[in-house]
Amino acid sequence: MDERCYFVLGTRPEIVKLSPVIDGWIKSGQECIILHTGQHQLSEMAQVFLDDLDLPVPTRTFNVGPDTHSRQVARIINGVEDALTELGPGIVVVQGDTNSTLGGAIAAVSQKNHFVIHVESGCRSFNRQMPEEINRIVVDHACDLLFAATAADVDNLRREGLNDRSRLVGSTGVEACLRNVSKATEKSQLMSRLGVKKREFGLATVHRAQNTEDGPTLTRIFQALTDLAMRTPIVFPVHPRTALAIKNNDLAFPPSLIRTPPLRYLDFLALLSNARFILTDSGGVQEEAAYLGTRCFTLRDETEWTFTLDAGVNTLVGTDPGRIMDVVGRDLELGTPPSPLRVRWPTGKPPSEAIVRELTERESC
């Protein structure tokens, strides 16, 4: 059945994790409309990600830009609602836990002629101090159909009374990673430009509000990275929010801490697949590292991706420099990277195929 599908996205993770679903939807012959909120200020980087993943140019771009949580969400709601009103009924797909996810879902469910789905449903950190956690919960309870990545996520949805509308399909982020890692390794020249060698460098990403908006917390993380960089080079692609926080807290980069601007997807994937380890506060990167065989240390006290902890490929290290140095230091002494996790899709087919099939076989709006 021919039907229009809107994909609302505004950040790097959404572009990456929705890319297999967008690709599958286009190949099914359905009408595809990408609504780009412009949540992140580096809109040119968003286009680079779309190019890396062979995705079409967005039909609408709202250029929302950075702001407070509520103001940003309000502008996203206005932009998405105007586009949906103008372009007509259809399926609306949101992904993850960002303000674009929340704004897109609210705009869609406020209109009765749209069927709204959430990809990566059921993730819970159980830390309601994180704005992402509130976004996830609200979106899951608002949407019509919920596609979950893990059995634990489905259990979370069941406990919240959402079992009837949940489907276990697997992670589209992992699917995107495995689809593109060979291309990344083949095309990226970044390692040679940075002067680092396979399994002889670390990687770090820091972007969450809880780690950047509190000066002492960021200072502790930075101290740990600085100390670790005395032992092994660490590549640090700096998120715009983090760059501002580093400047405001007057933190200096040592020579062995290799600072780069935000990276395009294929360059980052090439680094991640070849790094000795990664320190991160990103949920998606924890997943990617697990399936690439790169040791992960998470700069938080909890994680949504508990299966990575259970599998022994990820360790929660928090933000205390002493603990980070102790845990990562022991791993460096061992010198043996973990084995990549094996992929077992819950439905027997890649998540994007399961999602597209479910949507194309449902009754039209």
Mean pLDDT of 148-156: 97
Position 328 confidence tier, pLDDT thresholds 50, 70, 90: very high
Instruction: Kindly give, in sequence order, each residue whose CB lies less than 8 Å from that of residue 355, ignoring residues fewer than 6 positions away.
Output: 21, 24, 117, 119, 147, 169, 172
Residue 174, SS3? Answer: helix
Output the pLDDT for position 44: 61
Position 337 confidence tier, pLDDT thresholds 50, 70, 90: confident
Mean pLDDT of 295-310: 95
Describe the crossing of helices 283-292 and 12-27 by its angle, rounded to 10 degrees: 70
Question: What CA–CA distance (Å, rounded) separates 92 from 324?
Answer: 41
Domains of the chain and CATH, by start? 4-170+346-361 (3.40.50.2000), 182-334 (3.40.50.2000)
Is the pLDDT higher at 2 or at 228?
228
Is the pLDDT higher at 285 or at 66?
285
Output the pLDDT for position 137: 98
Instruction: Kindly give, in sequence order, each residue whose CB lies less than 8 Å from that of residue 186, ignoring residues fewer than 6 positions away.
Output: none
**Phi, psi torsion values for 311, nearest 5 degrees:** -80, -5
Output the pLDDT for position 274: 97
Output the pLDDT for position 24: 97
Mean pLDDT of 352-362: 94
Residue 270, SS3? Answer: helix
Residue in 349, 350, 359 with CA at minimum distance from that of residue 143:
359
Q: What is the mean pLDDT of the chain?
A: 93
Residue 336, SS3? Answer: coil
Residue in 42, 167, 185, 188 with CA at minimum distance from that of residue 117:
167
Is the pLDDT higher at 108 or at 239?
108
Strand-pair category, 202-205 with 277-280: parallel
Q: Where are the beta strands (DSSP E) in the chain?
A: 4-9, 31-36, 60-61, 90-95, 114-121, 145-148, 166-168, 202-205, 234-237, 257-260, 277-280, 295-298, 314-316
Output the pLDDT for position 65: 80
Output the pLDDT for position 85: 96
Question: What CA–CA distance (Å, rounded) separates 260 from 257?
Answer: 10
Does residue 103 contact residue 73 with C-beta atoms inside 8 Å?
yes
Output the pLDDT for position 75: 95
Is the pLDDT higher at 51 or at 324?
324
Question: What CA–CA distance (Å, rounded) separates 179 from 175?
Answer: 6
Question: Which of 40, 114, 207, 239 is flagged as catalytic?
Answer: 207
Position 241 confidence tier, pLDDT thresholds 50, 70, 90: confident
Question: What CA–CA distance (Å, rounded) separates 329 from 212?
Answer: 24
Strand-pair category, 166-168 with 145-148: parallel
Give percent above pLDDT 70 in the chain.
97
Question: What CA–CA distance (Å, rounded) separates 284 from 56?
Answer: 23
Distance in Å from the first CA to the final CA of the chain: 11
Question: What CA–CA distance (Å, rounded) separates 256 from 243?
Answer: 18
247-291 pLDDT, tens digit each? 999 988 888 799 999 899 999 999 999 999 999 999 999 999 999
Q: Is 207 a catalytic residue?
A: yes
Q: How many residues does the chain have?
A: 365
Output the pLDDT for position 365: 47
Burial 204-229 (b: 16+ CB within 10 A, else e): bbbbbebbbeeeebbbbbbbbbbbbb
Which amino acid type is present at position 6? Y
Cα-only R_g, the chain: 20
68-100 pLDDT, tens digit each? 889 999 999 999 999 999 999 999 999 999 999
171-208 pLDDT, tens digit each? 999 999 999 999 999 999 999 999 999 999 999 999 88
